Chain A
Amino acid sequence: MANVARKLSAPRRGVGNAFWSFMKSPGFARMLFPVAVILFWLGAMNVIISIWPFMAEVLPTPLEVWGAMWDELIDPFVDGIQAATRANVYATFGRSLIRLGAGFAIAMVLGTIIGLAMGLSKSVDAFFHDWVMAILAMPALAWALFLSLAFGFGHTGPILTVILTGIPFVIVNIREGVRNTPRELFDMARSYQVPQQRITRHVLVPSLMPFMFAAVRYAFSIGWKGLVIAEVFGGQDGAGWTIKFWYDAHRAHAVVGYAFFFILFAIVLEKIVFDPIQRRVFKWRPQITNLQLVEKMFDEPRLALDMATVADASAQPDGEGDRIDG
């Protein structure tokens, strides 16, 4: 088996092999994806325009969309419409981010308190249960419409929409976290007479962390979608309002471009905020590298064989066990 393994892992040399191994790599596959998307986009446009020629006026090409995005990124003027009527992309997303941050923080604090109480007390759980389910079932659009009617244009409607769309996810996750705290670890700590403060810090909080993270992720992404809808109806600026602005101006390429900004915004947040925090907090989780996986697959059968040999050699007439129950 060792010989086979060596042959398999022997490095191949030469330019041709390097080319093929690049073609087979996941990195290449990932690079191929946007190319495939653009080709599909252009192909689909051609098909649609050949059926309905008037669509040529509406459908933007990838280049037009990129142009609209580039103009936004480098210049507050787009298509000759003055920046005075609206903020550029940085200010727009900045404003939305402030609303999102405010609503999200409130949802996290309130949701954590309610979730903890629901996890700890059956009567509190019974009291809030139906309310949480009702809020969970309410579409973000309904909140956005109702709250912009109630509060008019401004910050209040969008922030409240973020809170109301995000909070049920926080509550449900924290409640489950409290219900799933590892009792055996608390018992262990108590038997060693560990002070309560240390138990809270080193047992309770870390055991809630995975649930806390799920809460943050859900509240943030659901809250973000809620915010965009709320800004369409109840905003005078912000990302949602701006995409509506381009819709009203019949600029399809700018609408699509702005949609791409939403995606970029989410990816950037994920990569520069959530990923590093998660890596740090869950450092303890075992991560098997590919090499370890291969070692495990090859070594474990051999190890089992070694152990069986040792067991045979040291076999005793009475062996282990003789358990008195099943």
Chain B
Amino acid sequence: MAEISVRNLHKEFGIGADKVVALENVNLEVGGHVFVSIVGPSGCGKSTLLNILSGIETPTSGKVEITQEGHEAAPGYVFQAARLLPWRTVLDNLLFVQKEQTAETRARCQRYLEMVQLGDKGTKYPGELSGGMQQRVGIARAFSIEPDVLFMDEPFSHLDAITARSLRRELHEMWKETRKTVLFVTHDVGEAVELSNRIVVFAKGGKLEDDITVDLPFPRDPADERVAVAKAQVLRKFEELDLVAT
């Protein structure tokens, strides 16, 4: 089981008068087969946290660690835009992030493309696919390195409602099947309640304000009364926090 550990994490951008605090003294422990959503308003440091965890950015102070049975573990990352290499085919995009490029990894990549229903699109270029399909490729890429930990940064926010809904269902199935630890950034509370065991709430200024456990059975139907109640609770918390923040 993978463990994510964030201790006293602090991140600032700029210097002097332009200084912006993105994350302030954040502590977070996530482990096992859980789906954790990180919610909060724009500019609350949600994405910065994922970028620091994945090594794209470095923290100003504090420590982050992702371990799998004592060893450092590599995450898979699904971005807001698919971030595919437009000049490589779909299958080559998956191969690009593999440690080794053997026949075996090729077969694995093909398997994950089939899992997101794009098994026949491996030879296409990203420009030939729709936005939803591109995002599916991004998801397949993240799963294809068989990571223990998966980061997702608002992966469905660019998509139309119907595509987003079907992709959420697919994602839930894949999470159930592969038993990964998922950190999922979103600003859609409904999405967070539908998908996660745990919701971590960030406020403006990068403060971790609340940590809510959502104890409802999967799959969760947005029309289900219990899901609607849980969502209303989170939204109420948000209103309270906004009052606190301002």
> Within 8 Å of chain A (Cβ to Cβ): is B8?
no
Stretch among B19-27, B160-168, B207-215 lining the A interface = B160-168
Minimum Cβ distance to chain A for residue B51 (Å): 8
Provide the bound-state CA to CA distance between A190 and B96, in Å: 12
Question: Which residue in A185, A192, A307, A323 is a CB contact (below 8 Å) of B187?
Answer: A323
In the complex, chain A residues 282-313 whose Cβ is within 8 Å of any chain B Cβ: 283-286, 307, 310-311
Question: Which residue in A187, A286, A321 is a CB contact (below 8 Å) of B56?
Answer: A187
Stretch among B9-17, B28-36, B71-79, B109-117 lining the A interface = B71-79
Minimum Cβ distance to chain A for residue B177 (Å): 22
Question: Which residue in B40, B74, B128, B188 is a CB contact (below 8 Å) of A321?
Answer: B188
Q: A187-B83, A284-B87 are in contact. List 12 more A-B contacts (CB 8 A).
A: A184-B81, A185-B83, A189-B97, A191-B55, A192-B77, A206-B87, A284-B86, A284-B88, A320-B161, A322-B189, A323-B187, A324-B235
Q: Is the CB of B79 within 8 A of A202?
A: no
Provide the bound-state CA to CA distance between A209 and B88, in Å: 14
In the complex, chain A residues 257-291 whose Cβ is within 8 Å of any chain B Cβ: 283-286
> Within 8 Å of chain A (Cβ to Cβ): is B223?
yes
Map CB proximity to B onto A159-196 as digits: 1 under 8 Å, 0 otherwise. Answer: 00000000000000000000000001101111111100
> Within 8 Å of chain A (Cβ to Cβ): is B42?
yes
User: Which 6 residue pairs across A and B have the least CB separation, nearest first?
Assistant: A286-B127, A192-B97, A191-B54, A325-B41, A188-B83, A284-B87
Binding site for B on A (CB under 8 A): 184-185, 187-194, 198, 202-203, 206, 209, 283-286, 307, 310-311, 314, 316-325
> Within 8 Å of chain A (Cβ to Cβ): is B125?
yes
Provide the bound-state CA to CA distance between A26 and B34, in Å: 62
> Within 8 Å of chain A (Cβ to Cβ): is B39?
yes
A-B pair number, CB within 8 angstroms: 90
Provide the bound-state CA to CA distance between A209 and B187, in Å: 37
Q: Is the CB of B161 within 8 A of A184?
A: no
Provide the bound-state CA to CA distance between A185 and B74, in Å: 18
> Within 8 Å of chain A (Cβ to Cβ): is B85?
yes
Q: Is the CB of B97 within 8 A of A318?
A: no
Q: Is the CB of A318 within 8 A of B83?
A: no
In the assembled complex, which residues on chain A have CB atoms less than 8 Å from the CB atom of B222? 316, 318
Minimum Cβ distance to chain B for residue A173 (Å): 18
Most buried by A among B75, B86, B151, B228: B86
Provide the bound-state CA to CA distance between A206 and B151, in Å: 27
Q: Is the CB of B74 within 8 A of A188?
A: no
Known: A190-B55, A311-B161, A318-B231. A325 touches B85 (CB 8 A): no
Known: A187-B56, A188-B77, A324-B39. A202 touches B164 (CB 8 A): no
In the assembled complex, which residues on chain B have CB atoms less than 8 Å from the CB atom of A284? 86-88, 125, 127
Provide the bound-state CA to CA distance between A193 and B56, in Å: 10
In the complex, chain B residues 197-241 whose Cβ is within 8 Å of any chain A Cβ: 222-223, 228, 231, 235, 238
